[in-house]
Structure 1
Amino acid sequence: MGKIPPSFRSAISTSMATKPSSLATINPPSAAAKPLHFPKKPARFSRKTHDPNSLESPSPSPSVPPQLQSPFTSPDLSDAKKLFSSVVAASKSPLDARLHNALLQSYAAVAATVHDSISLLNHMVKASPCFSPDRSTYHVLLSQSCKTPGDSLSPVHQVLNLMINRGVAPNQATADVAVRSLCSSGREDEAIELIRELSSKHSPPDTYTYNFVVKHLCKNRALGTAYNFIDEMRDSLGVKPDLVTYTILIDNVCNTKNLREVTRLVSVLSEEGFKPDCFVYNTIMKGYCMLSRGSEAVGVYKKMKEEGVEPDLVTYNTLIFGLSKSGRVKDARKYLDIMVEAGHFPDAVTYTSLMNGMCREGDALGALRLLEEMEAKGCSPNSCTYNTLLHGLCKSRLLEKGIELYQMMKSSDMKLETAAYATFVRSLCRDGRVAEAYEVFDYAVESKSLTDVSAYTALESSLKWLKKAREQGLAV
């Protein structure tokens, strides 16, 4: 990013549960949009696997020739068999299992039915005797069967029976592949039904699958549905929620701004013998910040310290964001110093949150001073930082400084955010600089910062205001 131009510097210098009922169904309010500059959450609820029992559908091996990674474009089974036979005939050495699985996966992506994919697998075994299907092979078919349209599990049962008949018993990885595939197709009810069936015949789901379902239900269904699933799993299968489960629930409830339910869930979590970790506290703090309740966010921070949980960078960024948003910029600045003393280096999110709060208070020049401090300490501002400042400068009637900042953004190919763009264009029109407003419009469209409609709507609104102001003698 470019440094602050000299004109800027001169301007600055001058001025979860013991009883099933503990997870009672509730009707939470609708979810609210996330704040623009809110720090990103750590990716806590995902995992990657690379073994033959991988929970994800197997991907082609790096050793697979590019031309064979996706060779099937037609669902025609006879063509697929001929193509595979030609690959075997042309190979100077036996094909390994990963290549067989990659070819099967390629055909499964275009096959009309699971039955056709099974037929191709049988042909593979016959045409290539050295190939012995493993669990990953059947997981390819299982994933396809779960994505078959309809509400019947018959295709899934067909693949599971095939596995069992060939000596490969379904395990927890198998359940995970099926459940994730069903949920990705919007078939949550069938996923839960399959969990019941596999649990009774083989084994209950592992914690990864269990928490995936909870998170998916929280995202796509009413919270009560997730509570019912948790109760059923505990009562029927003895599978209890863990700390991750409660964190998922707390995060979902925080997003709905239902902090009373958050408090109840934290109590349930404690009753179950779990101690909230830094992630849980950060999640709760985020909920207060979304409501601009800085005092409560500080209370969560103090509670963390009392419980011996050490705050991390996300904690401080969240707290600074919440205090800045609620108009307590001075307090937010104090925590900036505290986080440095604790060994955490402020990043672009930290500084942008503070700048946002300063601009809200009308102290855009103070935000520019902070930008200079930020760069001096080796922290590079990002697009969000500049958009925040551009919006603040225009709001404070510092248009010339806003134009200079815009030129810096343009030279760095930064995109304009909707609020900053609309405020900037409005300020230019208010100052009678219509030609420059059109130039900003062109840049917003060319850089794909906004859609053509959104960019033009903001410009049109400003031009209409200018026309009306001129008619009333309020502008020249």
Structure 2
Amino acid sequence: MGKIPAFLRSSTIPVSQIIKTPQSQSHQSSKSFPPSNFIQNRKPKSVKPLKPSLNPNSSSPPLVPITFPNLSEAKSFINSLISNPNIPLDIQFYNSIIHSFSSIATLDDAFSLFTHMLKTLPSFSPDRSTFHILITHSCISKTHDSVLTGVSRAVDYMASQGFPPDPVTVDIAVRGICLSRHEDAAAKLVTELHDKYSVTPDNYTFNFLVKHLCKNRSMSMVYGVIDELEKLVGLKPDLITYTILIDNVCNNKNLREATRLLSELNEKGFKPDCYVYNTIMKGYCSLNLGNEMIKVFKTMKEVGVEPDLYSYNTVIFGLSKSGRVKDARKYLDVMAEMGHFPDAVTYTSLMNGMCREGDALGALRLLGEMEAKRCSPNECTYNTLLHGLCKSRLLDKGKELFETMKEGGVKLESASYATFLRALCREGRVAEAYEVFDYAVESKSVTDVSAYSTLESTLKWLKKAREQGLSVC
């Protein structure tokens, strides 16, 4: 269903004033539209980097340790710290120097500066976090071989200084390499570190790797990496691993594979939780396979997994989407009996299904029921109803609902705005169409370009229809 925006306050106009004598309805289907998010991009002001003071008599440490990638200048800066009594001697300050220089210099120069600091500064005593900085920056590379070589070099250097890698080290390296989109190199590094230093990552690291592999690699490669790490390192998939795999195949609409993974999960002694079943139901819902979705829901209850609010919302949305609104409404009472009270998502799903069936007035009455139970409608609720009313040619009701939305400061979504605008123009109510246009622009519901282009195309259609003597009502 997508992410639902924050609840908006209820309308100040009672729904009973909107629901009047039913008008003729057109059984045209209403579509489901996700809420729009509007982000204002702002160009940040350019800030000139501060160059650290190399004056040993400076009264305070530099604000930015190093802002230049030149190794000789960086070494000169380190030399200036020796005679400066105001320089802090804690490890955080020295780590900030290494971090700032490593982020702008080459890996070779970062190692050179690190070695120079060891020789020059008696107070510099690196700890494990210092070497982790080098490992983090060694993960930034464009090729598989170079990133693996760089990280291995940093880990070996760390071990030579008396800090053999531990699971935290492996986690930092794996996460850094995955963020550079070299997941295959991360998997290879896990094997190398296990063979060389007998260190094994925990399941958090393993599952992070699996998640990134699912995101950027084929499933055949994901399964291959999982099998290899289980044989060579001893890392075994857990419930979280299977959840990640099931979620990925469901998103790719491969429900057969999701069912196979669910069986494999059970065979290995794991009990699927509510999230796993919800994920599979969501997958069937996206394919409009309501019967299969209900089977999963019933299986979940049979094995003793209690459905949550998301489970019921998924069932109601899936049934409503597939034209089974009556069946969907039955679950309102069921979920209430189980202590899960319907929310805005629940009611909006039902309204969407009713509008699809041409029962926009029934959806409007459901809005009254929703408010009576003190469940606040949200932006998606209002826009779903407005779109449904316009599609059913209940324009007066739509206009009253629009006034309600204005009172509550509810924004129009692009689809409901376009549908409403065209419906008004089709009925010859151009002045009211301009009012809708003004509100859409003033409330920043849609971009100015979209608002103008929709209005322009609608008016052109209206003019052409009138010129051809066509009825627009």
Scaled by the length of structure 1, the TM-score of the pair is 0.79
Aligned pairs (5 A) from 1:218-237 = 218-237=214-233
2:366 corresponds to which of 366, 370, 384: 370
Aligned pairs (5 A) from 1:191-270 = 191-202=186-197, 203-270=199-266
Structure 1's 264 and 99: CA in aligned 2 closer, same or farther, altered over 3 A?
same
Per the alignment, residue 118 of structure 1 pairs with 111
Structure 1's 382 and 108: CA in aligned 2 closer, same or farther, altered over 3 A?
farther
Residue deviations 1:130-188 (CA, integer Å, cap 9, x gap): 45322222222211111133331222222112211111111222122112221212212
Per the alignment, residue 144 of structure 1 pairs with 137
Residue deviations 1:415-448 (CA, integer Å, cap 9, x gap): 4333222212222322234455455445545655
Per the alignment, residue 186 of structure 1 pairs with 181
Per the alignment, residue 75 of structure 1 pairs with 69
RMSD: 3.1
SS of 1:335's equivalent?
helix
Per the alignment, residue 30 of structure 1 pairs with none
**Take 1:402 and 1:82, find their aligned partners in 2: how far apart are those partners?**
73
User: Cα offset for 1:85?
Assistant: 7.7
Structure 1's 231 and 445: CA in aligned 2 closer, same or farther, altered over 3 A?
farther
Structure 1's 375 and 8: CA in aligned 2 closer, same or farther, altered over 3 A?
closer
Moved more, 437-446 or 253-262: 437-446
Moved more, 266-275 or 454-463: 454-463
> 1:155 and 2:157 equivalent?
no
Aligned pairs (5 A) from 1:292-441 = 292-410=288-406, 413-438=409-434, 440-441=436-437
**Take 2:375 and 2:281, find their aligned partners in 1: how far apart are those partners?**
25
User: Cα offset for 1:376?
Assistant: 3.1
**Take 2:399 and 2:386, find their aligned partners in 1: how far apart are those partners?**
8
Quick check: 2:131–2:158 contact (8 Å CA) kept in 1?
A: yes
Structure 1's 162 and 362: CA in aligned 2 closer, same or farther, altered over 3 A?
same
Q: Which structure would you say has the larger Rg?
A: 2
SS of 2:376's equivalent?
coil
Quick check: 1:415–1:444 contact (8 Å CA) kept in 2?
A: yes
The letter of the residue matching 1:115 is: D
> 1:9 and 2:16 equivalent?
yes
Per the alignment, residue 287 of structure 2 pairs with 291
Residue deviations 1:307-327 (CA, integer Å, cap 9, x gap): 111111111111111111111
SS of 1:12's equivalent?
coil
Structure 1's 11 and 402: CA in aligned 2 closer, same or farther, altered over 3 A?
closer
**Take 1:121 and 1:410, find their aligned partners in 2: how far apart are those partners?**
62
**Take 2:231 and 2:343, find their aligned partners in 1: how far apart are those partners?**
46
**Take 2:323 and 2:132, find their aligned partners in 1: how far apart are those partners?**
54
**Take 1:216 and 1:461, find their aligned partners in 2: how far apart are those partners?**
44
Per the alignment, residue 475 of structure 1 pairs with 472
1:276 corresponds to which of 240, 255, 272: 272
**Take 1:73 and 1:157, find their aligned partners in 2: how far apart are those partners?**
27
Residue deviations 1:186-221 (CA, integer Å, cap 9, x gap): 212222221221122232332112212222122212
Structure 1's 76 and 239: CA in aligned 2 closer, same or farther, altered over 3 A?
same
**Take 1:125 and 1:424, find their aligned partners in 2: how far apart are those partners?**
71
Residue deviations 1:303-361 (CA, integer Å, cap 9, x gap): 11111111111111111111111112222222122112111232222222122112212
**Take 1:91 and 1:366, find their aligned partners in 2: how far apart are those partners?**
79
Q: How many aligned residue pairs are there?
A: 428
Residue deviations 1:257-311 (CA, integer Å, cap 9, x gap): 2222222222222222222111111111111111122222222111111111111
Structure 1's 82 and 433: CA in aligned 2 closer, same or farther, altered over 3 A?
farther
**Take 1:389 and 1:327, find their aligned partners in 2: how far apart are those partners?**
17
The letter of the residue matching 1:12 is: I
Quick check: 1:2–1:408 contact (8 Å CA) kept in 2?
A: no
**Take 2:33 and 2:381, find their aligned partners in 1: how far apart are those partners?**
11
> 1:105 and 2:105 equivalent?
no
**Take 1:318 and 1:135, find their aligned partners in 2: how far apart are those partners?**
47
The letter of the residue matching 1:462 is: T
**Take 2:384 and 2:126, find their aligned partners in 1: how far apart are those partners?**
56
Structure 1's 334 and 201: CA in aligned 2 closer, same or farther, altered over 3 A?
same
The letter of the residue matching 2:151 is: V
The letter of the residue matching 1:473 is: L
Quick check: 1:399–1:427 contact (8 Å CA) kept in 2?
A: yes
SS of 1:183's equivalent?
helix
Structure 1's 10 and 195: CA in aligned 2 closer, same or farther, altered over 3 A?
same
Moved more, 438-447 or 350-359: 438-447
